[in-house]
Amino acid sequence: MKDYMTLQGLSLVGTYGNRGLTLTEGEGIWLKNPAGDKYMDLMTNYGVNIFGHGHPEIVAALSAQLRRLTTLHCSFANDVRADAARALLKRCAGGLSRLYFSNSGAEAIEAAVKFSVLATGRKTFIRCGGGYHGKTLGALSATGGAKYRSAFEALLLDFVEVPYDDVQALSSALDGRVAGFFVEPVQGEGGVRPASPGYLKAAGDLCRAAGALLIVDEIQTGLGRTGTFLASEPEGLAYDMVTLAKGLGGGIPIGATLVSPAVAARIPKASHTCTLGGNPLAAAGLLASLRVLDDGLISHVREMGSYFSARLREAGLPGALEIRGKGLMLGVRVKAGRDLILKALQGEKILACPAGEDVVRFLPPYIIRKPEIDLAMEGIRHAFEASGTEN
């Protein structure tokens, strides 16, 4: 049997951590290694495989599109792309009227940066401490903290950092130079931290008064992850801009930057384009995802999120300080040993991912059920006990 871990390590630039695990197949909530051992996937490739692996409707839609047309530049019209764009705009609502298709979340943020400059004529932005918007240079400018930024500063544009979920700090930072404010409804990489109710609405009002744009990053929280189609949906926002990616294509790479009519009117031809953005294959995945993600499944996400959260709270996990999150975007903040816990979880054949410096993050597929959560809790309890952390 080939040693794929060594082969990959010798072939790829070493920018990724090494989980010490080779995975070659997926079905439902499970991933398999070459020996056929099953791992419960509670991280879904950082929130991409929202319907699990091999969902029949997603597979059928992608297979059919593979036989028709896979790529086509956006200077040509295409039936699947047009239908996907209209369906997504309708589903998001909030006054969004046009969108730009890209291939990833970071690309969606890059587009948002440029569109903000074009729409306002300004080049100063506000970001949140703990915010994460990607690692390309424009997106990195919007990402908070020094962890990913320090080696590349000074970055491209002027970004002012304010504390997350602090309306007064945002109000003090806004002035006539600010083009836009980048914010996540729930900070993912920053530690699974939900914003307080009303924060986004207040932020939007403040931005509007200052002539700045509110850019809501729903790359991880969107597509039903928190129990509504957009996590910001309950705020009733009149959106300036929303960014989406991760689960948007049913596992196929696609990003989208959705804009209001006022922003769309200020974006000229050739100001930002992408050869592969909105390709028909990815658009077919998007359309299939919107069909699968009906009200019943979103209701199931809310139910399973409440159940999983309650099980985590009642478990008395050693070293656990706080259970955070919304829907099926959950985090356990721990006193110490976060990475040891992740390793122990993998030893229990459960895959989770880190967030911030001290949070174990769970992003299960939406199809997970109570018996599977109960099974996961057995392994989670064993992993926390085995990691050696204490209350």
Residue 310: CATH number of its domain:
3.90.1150.10
- Dihedral of CA atoms 102, 108, 110, 113 in degrees, nearest 10, equals 130
- 368 and 249, same domain (yes or no): no
Inside any domain, residue 391: no
- CA–CA dist 260, 213 (Å, integer): 10
- 235 and 346, same domain (yes or no): no
Inside any domain, residue 10: yes
How many domains does the structure of the chain reveal? 2
- 27 and 74, same domain (yes or no): no
Domain of 187, CATH number, reads 3.40.640.10
- 216 and 346, same domain (yes or no): no
SS3 labels along 72-105? CCCCCCCHHHHHHHHHHHHHHCCCCCEEEEECCH
Inside any domain, residue 144: yes
- 271 and 376, same domain (yes or no): no
Inside any domain, residue 117: yes
- 355 and 267, same domain (yes or no): no
Query: Domain end: 271, 292, 313, which one?
Result: 292
- 382 and 326, same domain (yes or no): yes
What is the three-class DSSP state of 223? coil
Range of the domain at 350: 4-55+294-386
- 343 and 299, same domain (yes or no): yes
CB atoms within 10 A of CB 24: 11
Closest CA to 262 of 240, 284, 233: 240
- CA–CA dist 179, 173 (Å, integer): 12
Give DSSP secondary structure letters for 309-378. Answer: HHHHHHTT-TTEEEEEEETTEEEEEESS-HHHHHHHHHHTTEE-EEETTTEEEE---TT--HHHHHHHHH
Inside any domain, residue 8: yes
- 21 and 65, same domain (yes or no): no
Rg (CA), the chain: 21
Do 239 and 258 contact (CB within 8 A), yes or no?
Answer: yes
Place of tokens 């499970």: 30
Inside any domain, residue 90: yes
- 237 and 156, same domain (yes or no): yes
- 278 and 317, same domain (yes or no): no
Query: Domain end: 292, 318, 348, which one?
Result: 292
| Residue 125: CA count within 13 A, CB half-sphere | 30
Inside any domain, residue 173: yes
Residues 6+ apart with CB under 8 A from 335: 319, 320, 321, 358, 389, 390, 391
- 237 and 201, same domain (yes or no): yes
- CA–CA dist 346, 48 (Å, integer): 19
Query: Domain end: 258, 292, 326, which one?
Result: 292
Quick one: pLDDT at residue 149?
Answer: 87
Inside any domain, residue 304: yes
Per-residue pLDDT of the chain (391 residues; tens, 9 = 90+): 789 999 998 999 999 999 999 999 999 999 999 999 999 999 999 999 999 999 999 999 999 999 999 999 999 999 999 999 999 999 999 999 999 999 999 999 999 999 999 999 999 999 999 999 999 999 999 999 888 988 888 887 899 999 999 999 999 999 999 999 999 999 999 999 999 999 999 999 999 999 999 999 999 999 999 999 999 999 999 999 999 999 999 999 999 999 999 999 999 999 999 999 999 999 999 999 999 999 999 999 999 999 999 999 999 999 999 999 999 999 999 999 999 999 999 999 999 999 999 999 999 999 999 999 999 999 999 999 988 655 4
- Dihedral of CA atoms 262, 264, 270, 276 in degrees, nearest 10, equals 160
Q: What is the largest CA-CA distance in the chain?
A: 63
The one-letter code for the residue type at 6 is T
